[in-house]
Amino acid sequence: MATIRDVAKAANVSISTVSRVLNYDPSLNVPESTKKKVFETVEKMGYIKKDIKMKNNYTRQRVGIVQWYTNEKELTDPFYHSIRVGVESTLHNNNIEIVRSFRNDAQYFTKLEGMDGIICIGKFSKTEIAEFRKITDKIIFIDMFMDKIYVNTIVMDVQNAMKDAVEYLISLGHRRIAFLGGIEYTTDGLQYRDQRKFYFEKYCSQYNVEYLRYIREEEFTTESGYKMMKSLLSQPKLPTAVFCANDPIAFGALNALSDAGLNVPDDISLIGFNNDPTSAYANPPLTTINVPSEKMGEFSAQFLAMFLKQKKIYPMMSMVPCELIIRQSCGKPKSSLSWM
């Protein structure tokens, strides 16, 4: 088992610094980068801090972070991982103790008992939401749209993001646009309504774009993106552009198009969603929607830190803007230079 001495050596700091960082000593004056390095080293080495009472005897509040993904699946998803990074860095800066809980943990709800607040990342069932509310009313859900606002949520502005994406493709002359997406379910077996697909259909209908025969949905993975793109290529009349509900799907679609001898964007244009770190280095660089995922995590932690000081919480929904990042995967269709 790793010791505090091991952590100090790996992080290249003193034992005293590690101890004071882990105990959130408010008098400690070191750069945030040093604190972050200590926390990352602790997590990597699996060090467990002993419960030592500080001289000033101040108590820290405890917040549970619930990730609807398993630990293993989160490692392959930059979007949800970056949200958690934003949450944890902000909670650390506010001297709030963190307790992590992943969907596949054996002590999933038990680990959250006694928490002062909870931040839930992903999609959860009504049953789970009710269980969280039994623990505390200081809860924030990230990336979960709700028809009725009865808990605090932070979501992305999907409506305007999709409007920008569809209008951009239309401005290039595209009138046959495909949608490659994924299907997700909450733990009670209900399908979660994907806002991207909903608004894609809304704006394609509004602008008289042909799209119905070009909708495919499987999983939010590169493998599914490849399979869905191959399915589209079996159509007698191909779409001139494809919208992908996340960047991994777009990467799979790029591979399928390359294997079929088709060029992006000369033959088919492609747009992704999320702006994953590798999207700028795809071949060609991927046009995509940037979602400030880490900021979503930071905002949620800031809100919760404020809620912890209040007796009564009034639920609200906060929405962060998304931005269309234009790179080199979109161009004018061969069949039409203008949609007018």
**Would residue 129 count as lying in a domain?**
no
**Would residue 131 count as lying in a domain?**
no
Quote the domain boundaries for residue 173: 158-290
The CATH number assigned to the domain holding 49 equals 1.10.260.40
In the numeric block, the tokens 């650390």 are attached to 92
Across 67-88, b (16+ Cβ under 10 Å) vs e yields bbbeeeebeebbbbbbbbbbbb
**Would residue 180 count as lying in a domain?**
yes
**Would residue 127 count as lying in a domain?**
no
Among 35-44, 212-221, 230-239, 270-279, which is the least confidently predicted range? 35-44
Confidence band of 335 (pLDDT split at 50, 70, 90): low
Confidence band of 3 (pLDDT split at 50, 70, 90): confident
Q: Which of 58, 92, 107 is the last residue of a domain?
A: 58
Give the whole-number percent of the chain exceeding pLDDT 90.
Answer: 65
Confidence band of 71 (pLDDT split at 50, 70, 90): confident
Average pLDDT score, the chain: 89
Confidence band of 33 (pLDDT split at 50, 70, 90): confident
Mean pLDDT of 28-52: 74
Residues 177 and 285 in one domain: yes
pTM for this entry? 0.80
Residues 54 and 164 in one domain: no
Q: What pLDDT does 21 receive?
A: 79
Q: What pLDDT does 338 receive?
A: 34
Is the model's pLDDT at 176 over the cut of 50?
A: yes
Helix (H, G, I), strand (E, B) or coil at 219: coil
Q: What pLDDT does 27 receive?
A: 64
Q: Half-sphere exposure of residue 176, counting CA atoms within 13 Å on the CB side?
A: 15
Is the model's pLDDT at 53 over the cut of 60?
A: no
Among 45-59, 165-179, 240-254, which is the least confidently predicted range? 45-59
**Would residue 279 count as lying in a domain?**
yes
Q: What pLDDT does 245 receive?
A: 98
Alpha-carbon distance of 313 to 303, in angstroms, equals 11
**Would residue 22 count as lying in a domain?**
yes
Chain centroid offset of residue 208 CA: 31
The CATH number assigned to the domain holding 248 equals 3.40.50.2300
